[in-house]
């Protein structure tokens, strides 16, 4: 499979008053098309900084980043925005949905700002398809406040994939969700990944990382460990197991 993300000795230094913070201190990482990677690490280890770079929201201080073979450091601000719109879908911990518009309109929105101008009907069709892929075809006309947290995050995922990006980036996507709902979000990620979407997800929970196929551990701005998950958890089987456990042990409390 071809390499989608290639980082070579990437550093990122923030100026903070008179001092500087070295958020990334030389990260080399290669991610191929079709991978599902979880990035783990303590708070402050550089995970979000890395995701911002991968997502073309930011550029390295030094080193190289190639996205689909394009050297991102050489792009100007507008080109960076274009490549981001075309190739990257983002999901965050907070769902960032517009509250006064329907799920469908929320999903359609990024395509409105895309430089590749597509017709209104194609835009709508893609949005419907994306909602279907996350299992929310029946909720297209609900507003965010009529949806559960898990459903809102699924709308955000549909919005991220509606433009058919090469890579889906998720920074702590289950950070605001309980364990069961987190597993539901992982069923969505695993099914999208099975359809060929490359996924890079930040989490600080090992339980969530085990749904991915590969785990990258960060510490102090460096990759400390990078390993394939021997047997990734099957989210559907996990959910079924929990449902069963709840039936036999009604007192069981699931804590996040």
Closest separation in Å from C-beta 12 to ligand ADP: 8
Residue 139 engages ligand ADP in binding (rule: CB under 6 A): no
Residue 96 engages ligand ADP in binding (rule: CB under 6 A): no
Phi, psi at 196, each rounded to 5°: 105, -5
Please report, in angstroms and rounded to a whole number, the separation of the first and last CA atoms in the chain. Answer: 36
Residues that contact ligand ADP, how many (by CB under 6 A): 12
CB count, 10 Å around CB of 59?
Answer: 16
Closest separation in Å from C-beta 208 to ligand ADP: 15
Instruction: For residue 4, give every residue at least 6 positions away whose Cβ sits within 8 Å of its Cβ, in sequence order, or none.
Output: 31, 32, 33, 67, 68, 166, 167, 198
Binding-site member from 43, 115, 121, 145 for ligand ADP (CB under 6 A): 43
Cα gap 207→134, rounded to integer Å = 21
23 binds, among Mg ion, ligand ADP, none (CB under 5 to 8 A by kind): ligand ADP
Residues between 7 and 26 with contacts to ligand ADP, criterion CB under 6 A: 14, 16, 21, 23
Instruction: For residue 220, give every residue at least 6 positions away whose Cβ sits within 8 Å of its Cβ, in sequence order, or none.
Output: 25, 45, 46
Closest separation in Å from C-beta 90 to ligand ADP: 14
Closest separation in Å from C-beta 203 to ligand ADP: 11
Binding-site member from 6, 7, 31, 47 for ligand ADP (CB under 6 A): 47
Binding-site member from 45, 48, 85, 235 for Mg ion (CB under 5 A): 48
Closest separation in Å from C-beta 27 to ligand ADP: 11
Q: How many residues does the chain have?
A: 256
Phi, psi at 29, each rounded to 5°: -155, 140
Closest separation in Å from C-beta 22 to ligand ADP: 8
CB count, 10 Å around CB of 231?
Answer: 6
Residue 182 engages Mg ion in binding (rule: CB under 5 A): no
Cα gap 89→96, rounded to integer Å = 13
Cα gap 144→34, rounded to integer Å = 30
Residue 132 engages ligand ADP in binding (rule: CB under 6 A): no
Cα gap 48→12, rounded to integer Å = 11
46 binds, among Mg ion, ligand ADP, none (CB under 5 to 8 A by kind): ligand ADP
Residue 165 engages ligand ADP in binding (rule: CB under 6 A): no
Cα gap 173→152, rounded to integer Å = 11
Residues that bind Mg ion (CB under 5 A): 47-48
What does the binding site for ligand ADP look like in residue numbers (CB under 6 A)?
A: 14, 16, 21, 23, 41, 43-49
């Amino acid at each position: 499979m071809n390499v989608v993300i290639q980082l070579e000795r990437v550093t990122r230094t923030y100026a903070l008053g008179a001092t500087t913070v070295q958020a990334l201190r030389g990260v080399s990482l290669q991610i191929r098309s079709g991978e599902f990677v979880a990035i783990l690490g303590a708070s402050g280890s550089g995970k979000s900084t890395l995701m911002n770079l991968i997502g073309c929201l930011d550029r390295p201080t030094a080193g190289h980043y190639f996205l689909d073979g394009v050297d991102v450091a050489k792009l100007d601000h507008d080109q960076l925005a274009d490549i981001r719109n075309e190739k990257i879908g983002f999901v965050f911990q907070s769902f960032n949905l517009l509250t006064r518009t329907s799920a469908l309109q929320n999903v359609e929105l990024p395509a409105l700002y895309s430089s590749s101008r597509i017709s209104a009907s194609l835009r709508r069709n893609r949005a419907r398809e994306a909602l279907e892929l996350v299992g929310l075809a029946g909720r297209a006309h609900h507003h965010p406040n009529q949806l559960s947290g898990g459903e809102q995050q699924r709308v955000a995922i549909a919005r991220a994939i509606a433009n058919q990006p090469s890579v889906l980036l998720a920074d702590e996507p289950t950070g605001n969700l309980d364990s069961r709902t987190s597993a539901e979000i992982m069923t969505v990620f695993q099914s999208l990944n099975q359809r060929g979407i490359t996924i890079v997800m930040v989490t600080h929970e090992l339980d969530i990382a085990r749904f991915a196929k590969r785990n990258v551990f960060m510490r102090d701005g460096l990759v400390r460990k990078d390993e394939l998950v021997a047997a990734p958890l099957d989210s559907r089987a996990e959910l079924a197991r929990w449902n069963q456990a709840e039936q036999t042990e009604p007192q069981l409390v699931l804590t996040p």
